[in-house]
Amino acid sequence: MKFTLDGLKRRKVLLDDVTIHSYDMSLYLVELSVGQHTGMLCSEDGRPLHFRSVEQVKNSLSEFVVNQVLLRHESPFDEMIGNPESAKQPLIVPLSW
């Protein structure tokens, strides 16, 4: 499922879970859980919205009530040096909002 900021604002929804996926030093994508539905936060044209900081994500979602926010980071280090993809667990950190 895909969520847009305008669509969420129109419905005035409660965001059960916000997971901020950290890719690289300054690329963040947002996954949302609203009720029984989970999906990426996307632009009006359906492409995932990308953010340059956690603060930018927070500002974009400031109008919403959020139950839980997590920052998830998976390191691509093994793949970058030519090794097979690692089976290591991602780093998941709860954030205060």
Which one-letter DSSP state was computed for residue 38? Answer: E
Cα–Cα dist 54/22, whole Å: 9
Does residue 25 sit in helix, strand or coil?
coil
Across-strand partners of 51?
28
Count of domains forming the chain: 1
| pTM > 0.75 | yes
| 34: nearest Cα among 51, 20, 61, 16 | 16
- Confidence band of 83 (pLDDT split at 50, 70, 90): low
Say how far residue 8 (Cα) sits from the centre of its chain: 15
* Per-residue pLDDT at 89: 79
* Per-residue pLDDT at 85: 64
Q: Which domain holds residue 19?
A: 2-95
| pLDDT above 80 for 86 | no
18-70 pLDDT per residue, tens = 999 998 778 999 999 999 999 999 999 999 999 999 999 999 999 999 999 99
